[in-house]
Structures are given as structure tokens and as C-alpha cells.
Amino acid sequence: MQDKIRLKNPIVEMDGDEMTRILWKMVKEELLFPYLDLTIDYYDLGIEHRDETDDAVTLEAARAVEKHQVGVKCATITPNAERVKEYNLKREYKSPNGTIRGYLDGTVFRTPILVEKIPPVVRSWKKPITIARHAYGDVYRNAEIRVPGPGTAELVFRSQSGETEVVKIADFEGPGIIQGIHNTDASIRSFAQACFLFGLDRGVDVWFATKDTISKTYDARFKEIFDEEFQAFRDRFAEKGIHYFYTLIDDVVARIMKSEGGLLWACKNYDGDVMSDMVASACGSLAMMTSVLISPRGCYVYEAAHGTVQRHYYRYLKGEKTSTNPMALLFAWTGAIRKRGELDQVPEAVRFADTLERAALTTIDEGIMTGDLAAISPPFPEKQSVDTEAFLAAIKERLDQAL
């Protein structure tokens, strides 16, 4: 075997929970550590350790990512009342992803992992469509009133210096509903920057859409800020031969169904919530989806788009073999290794990440896959559904051949 590839700077590793914690270890031991000389800055975000540290470890991990720029995160439990009882926790901790995102001020980009043998249900999609969802404000931070009967609804803004602006919403003749939503220039701006950075990083066009023909102040402000921010990217986009394209949300939905993909679709918060599920489902499975948090300060956190796969974990605890799909976790690691390699200028590390991803994709295209994929892919003679260990072993075989 060749010498191990050495990366110069650390990757921040955030360990997680349940089945994904088990898979995480397998992936590292089988497919990464034998080939790479990695410096890891390790944080255990498993629920027990978060509880022991009163969740301080989550913020420590976020700070470490800020310092080293590249992190990789396993799926973690966001506890609800049931989980508090199950794990005997001190309290219902907040979502670690929310804490990390809040600290790094990032945007999450989700891209399906396409394989030949599992064609997207939309026939024209040849290349992956990445969804970037703006993760602040709009209907997710709304204020609502159920109107009991006749009256007048107004929108009021009182500035710090004492001026007041009032706009009439409606005169009610009977019962109804009202909703107030907001966003901030700062948040929209950092979202726009993150989207343009992603486009440059991947060399893909950036599409953005709102309904500014109807929402002439609110949605129009999104469009204006994207236009303003694009000015700083215009030349670099031209050099790369990529484009920024703005249109209306209904137009983009119609166009996306006929596009061949290979682009970034930047979405307002609600659009991103809805459209990311549509794209994921059309491409097969959450286990075939990569997810990366990119902060405008140049930090990257790679993770899987799915949860801890709790039901499989309970079977694993009973000693049963499970056929849990490790693709998203594996691609989180290759994403982090590739980015570390790019930042440290270690091209062998970038090549390793590419080769490992190709080995995994070839494994599936040659018919060896986990149960979730076997269930959705069209039948072909070589197809076999295997457990996680056999799937990882098949990837390793192909990786060794390719190296």
C-alpha cells in the first residue's frame, strides 16, 4: 500500500448519535484512516456528552470550526420530551444544527447524490440540483392574530427615534386572520453572499426567484439585495463561465422541470422548505443527499441530510444486522477532506476524495446497495440488497483497485 496522504491542518469532527454514530465509526475505520494521516479536532456531540457539558460542547465545536474552517458532523438527536425520558436528560436541548448555524451565520446547501441505476423521477434531470434555503425569518418568525369580528388591521412600525409609519392591511367586516412577517437586510445579504460563493466554488449557475411582481416591497428587497451583492461576483462568474439568473418563483418551478439540473437554486425560507423535499424525494432518498453549511466567513460544515436512523439503531442494539445507507455520511467526510485539501493545497487529498466517491457510486451502479435503494431502484440482474458492512466492504474493494 502507498504512504498515507497527509493533510496539513485539522478537520473538526463532531460525533453524533444512534445508528449514524455506529456507521460514522465504520466509515472512518474502513475507508478513511487506513489511507489518510488526518489531524482531527474531535468533539463528541452525542446526546450523553451534550448533557454532561450542559450543551457547552456544541458551541465549542462551532468555535473550533470558525478557527479551522472545515468541520464534519454526524447526525445528532434533537431531544423532545420522549428523548429526555429515554436518555434521562437534564433538559430539552436545542438543535445542535441550529446552534452551529446560529454561531457561524451560515446557509445550508443540499445536493442529491445521483447514480445511474436510480434515475430521478424527473426525466430531464441529468445533473444534481442544489437547493439553498434562506434559514431566517418570513413565516418561520411570524406574528399572527385570529380576528374575531369587524374591525381594522394595520401594520405599524415605530422607529427608535420616535417616528411611526402606519399602513392599513384591511377592513374586516367579519372574522378572519392576519399575519406579520419580517426579514433583515443583513440576513438576506449574507444569504446572497453564501449562494454566490457556492456557485463559484462548484462552478454552477445560481438561480434565485421571489414573487416581486406581487410583493413590491418585501420580495423586491430580496431581489435588490441579490443584485447588489452580485456586483462583487460578476467578474469571477464571467471568468468561470457561470451565470446568475433571477426570475419569478412560478417561472422557476416551470423551468426546473425542464432543465437538466447542474445548478444552484436559491430559495426564500418557505420555498426552500418545500422545494428541498420535492428535489430529495424526486432523487430517491435522504440518504442520497449531501448537505453543507457554508458561512460567509469562509467556514464549511459537512453533514448528512438525514437523522440518526433511530429504528435501525434499536434493531442494531438487539444484535441484528441492519442495511443502513452510509452514503450521506461518507460524502460528508469526502466533502470535508476535499475542502481541507483545497485550502491546504494538498491535491492528493482532493483526488482521494474524488476516488472514494467514485468507488461508492460505482458500487451502487454495479448493483450492490443497501435496502433503501434496492427498494426504489428499477430491477436489473446484478442487483442485490446487502447490509451496511458488506456495502462498505464492496466500496473498499473498488477504492483499493482505483488507488
Closer residue to ligand NAP (CB): 46 or 199: 46
User: Going by C-beta distance under 8 Å and a sequence separation of 6 or more, which residues neighbour residue 154?
Assistant: 166, 167, 168, 169
CA–CA gap between residue 76 and residue 74 (Å, rounded):
6
Q: How far is the CB of 163 from ligand NAP (least distance, A)?
A: 44
- Member of 30, 138, 273, 387 binding Mg ion (CB under 5 A): 273
- Member of 311, 314, 320, 376 binding ligand NAP (CB under 6 A): 311
Q: Is 205 in the site for ligand NAP (CB under 6 A)?
A: no
User: Going by C-beta distance under 8 Å and a sequence separation of 6 or more, which residues neighbour residue 208?
Assistant: 192, 195, 222, 223, 226, 244, 245, 246, 265, 266
Cell of 243: 451565470
Binding window for ligand NAP (CB under 6 A); candidates: 5-13, 34-42, 72-80, 361-369: 72-80
Residue with cell 453533514: 303
Residue with cell 431502484: 377
Closer residue to ligand NAP (CB): 27 or 75: 75
Q: How far is the CB of 399 from Mg ion (least distance, A)?
A: 34
Q: How far is the CB of 272 from Mg ion (least distance, A)?
A: 9
Q: How far is the CB of 76 from ligand NAP (least distance, A)?
A: 4
CA–CA gap between residue 34 and residue 28 (Å, rounded):
8
Helix (H, G, I), strand (E, B) or coil at 315: helix
Running DSSP on this structure, what letter comes out for residue 3? P
**Which is nearest to 283 in space by CA: 391, 127, 388, 108?**
127
- Cβ–Cβ under 8 Å, residues 377 and 383: yes
Q: How far is the CB of 280 from ligand NAP (least distance, A)?
A: 11
Distances (CA, A) of 388 to 77, 134, 369: 21, 34, 9
Q: How far is the CB of 243 from ligand NAP (least distance, A)?
A: 32
CA 252 to chain CA mean position, Å? 21
CA–CA gap between residue 155 and residue 157 (Å, rounded):
7
Binding window for ligand NAP (CB under 6 A); candidates: 76-84, 101-109, 140-148, 379-387: 76-84
Q: Is 236 annotated as a binding residue?
A: no
Q: Is 310 annotated as a binding residue?
A: yes
x/- track of binding to ligand NAP for residues 90-129 (CB under 6 A): -------x--------------------------------
Q: Is 9 in the site for ligand NAP (CB under 6 A)?
A: no
Closer residue to ligand NAP (CB): 126 or 311: 311
The CB-nearest residue to Mg ion is 273
Q: Is 360 in the site for ligand NAP (CB under 6 A)?
A: no
Q: Is 138 in the site for Mg ion (CB under 5 A)?
A: no
Amino acid residing at 85: K
Q: Is 110 annotated as a binding residue?
A: yes
Produce one character per residue of 304-323: b if its CB has 16 or more CB atoms within 10 Å, e if not: bbbbbbeebbeebeeeeebb
The pairing of strands 151-158 and 300-304 is unpaired
CA atoms within 13 A on the CB side of 93: 28
Binding footprint of Mg ion, residue count (CB under 5 A): 1
Residue 13 interface partner, choices ligand NAP, Mg ion, none, CB cut-off 5-8 Å depending on type: none
Radius of gyration in angstroms for the set of CA atoms belonging to the chain, rounded to a whole number:
23
Helix (H, G, I), strand (E, B) or coil at 259: coil
Q: How far is the CB of 275 from Mg ion (least distance, A)?
A: 9
Residue 269 interface partner, choices ligand NAP, Mg ion, none, CB cut-off 5-8 Å depending on type: none
- Member of 307, 351, 355, 390 binding ligand NAP (CB under 6 A): 307
Cell of 198: 457556492
Binding window for ligand NAP (CB under 6 A); candidates: 103-111, 215-223, 299-307, 332-340: 299-307
- Member of 78, 247, 355, 385 binding ligand NAP (CB under 6 A): 78
Binding window for Mg ion (CB under 5 A); candidates: 268-276, 300-308, 320-328, 334-342: 268-276
Distances (CA, A) of 283 to 129, 286, 287: 10, 9, 10
Q: How far is the CB of 376 from ligand NAP (least distance, A)?
A: 11
Q: Which residues belong to the annotated binding site for Mn(2+)? A: 250, 273
Q: Which residues belong to the annotated binding site? A: 76-78, 83, 95-101, 110, 133, 250, 258, 273, 307-312, 325
Q: Which residues bind ligand NAP (CB under 6 A)?
A: 75-78, 97, 286-287, 303, 306-311, 324-325, 372
Q: Which residues bind Mg ion (CB under 5 A)?
A: 273
